[in-house]
Amino acid sequence: MEEALETMMNKVQISSSPATYCVTGGKGYLGSWLVETLLERGYIVHATVRDPEKSLHFLPLWKGNDRLRIFKADLNEEGSFDEAVKGCDGVFHVAASKEYKVDETENIEAYVQANIIDPAIKGTINVLKSCLNSNSVKRVVYTSSMSTMSAKDSNGKWKPVVDESCQIQTEHMVKTQPIGWVYALSKHLTEEAAFKFAKENGIDLVSVITTAVAGQFFTANNVPPSVKVLLSPLTGEPEFFKLLSSVNARMGSISAVHIEDICSAHIFLMEHSKAEGRYICSSQCFPISMLANLLAKEYSYSNKKKIAEKNCDKVPSDISSKKLKDLGFCYKYGLEDIIHQTIICCQDYGYLPPIIQ
C-alpha cells in the first residue's frame, strides 16, 4: 500500500482527466509507436508530421485515434509547433533531421556545421520555444542517441562501465571522422544546446539515450534503419554492417532495446517527478558475436555474415541503464525477444524471405 502511494506521489500528472501530450515526428519508427502507446494508455495525443497526407495510413493502426490530433509542423520553421503544443501537459521531442550526407567536394567541417548541425540545433530550439510560449507544458522529454556516447576515455582506454557521463568528444569526432560521425556529432551538439536553452529558460528537460531500437514496426514501406543495423550480420548489407561494427568498436559492445520498452521509458520519465538529466535506455548489452549467434539460431539463412568465429570482441563494456532502473523502471523484453519479434515482423513485410522448412 505504501509503495503504491509513493508511486502515485512520484507522478508529475495528478488529475482525474487524461493528460495531453505532443509527440513530434509522429511518422517515424519511435514516434509512431509512442503515439500508439499513449493512445492505448488513454492519453490525448497531438502528433506532428511534416506532411499529414503521407501519414494517413497510420490512422487505422492507431487504436483510440478519436483522442488524436495531427498537426503539420516543420523543424525549420519557427513557430510551426505553437499550435501542436498548445494545451499540452508535456512534449516528447522525437523528431530529428534526416539529412546527414556530406558533400565530399566541400570543406567537410564547415559544410557539416552549416548544413547539418546548425539546422538540427535550430529545429530543436524552435520546439523548445513553442513549449516555452505554451504556458502549459510542464516537461519536455528529448530523444537522444547512443551515438552520443563513447566507452573510451580521452586517452583511448576502455571504460568497464558506460554511464550517462561518457559522452563523445567533439574534437576527436571531427578529427577521426569514424563511420556515422556526422549523425553522432549532430545529436550530441543538439542535445547539448537543448539542455543549455532549457536551463536558461526554466524548461524541465529530460533526455532518453536510445540504444538500437527493434521489435515490431508500423513503417511497412520503410524498414527502420535501427532494425537494419541490428539484422546486418544476417542480411549482409554492407552499409549497415559497417555501422554496427563501428558502434561495437566505439562502445566495446552492442546494446539494444525493444520498441515497447523505449516508449514506456519515455512515458515513465515524462511522469516521474524525480526524473532529471540524461538516461541510458538499454535492456541488454552484448558482444557482436553473441548477436550473430542469436540471429543465426533464430533465422537460418545462408546470407548471414561469418563473424561468429572471429575473435572480434574485446571484454565488452557494460552499457549501464542503472540510473533509469534505480528510478524504478523495469524492462519487459530481453535480447532474444527483440530478435524474435524483429525477424517475424521483417518476414511479414517482406524484408526477410520466409524460411522454407
CB of 72 within 8 A of CB of 48?
A: yes
322 is catalytic: no
| Opening angle at CA 140, ends 138 and 143, nearest 5 | 165
CB of 24 within 8 A of CB of 45?
A: no
Residues 6 or more apart whose CB falls under 8 angstroms from that of 167 comprise 148, 149, 150, 188
DSSP 8-state symbol, 162 = E
* φ, ψ (nearest 5 deg) of residue 19: -70, 155
Which one is catalytic: 129, 152, 187, 304?
187
HEC per residue, 280-318: EECCEEECHHHHHHHHHHHCCCCCCCCCCCCCCCCCCCE
- Is 219 strand, coil or helix? coil
CB of 168 within 8 A of CB of 239?
A: no
DSSP 8-state symbol, 218 = S
Just list the catalytic residues: 187
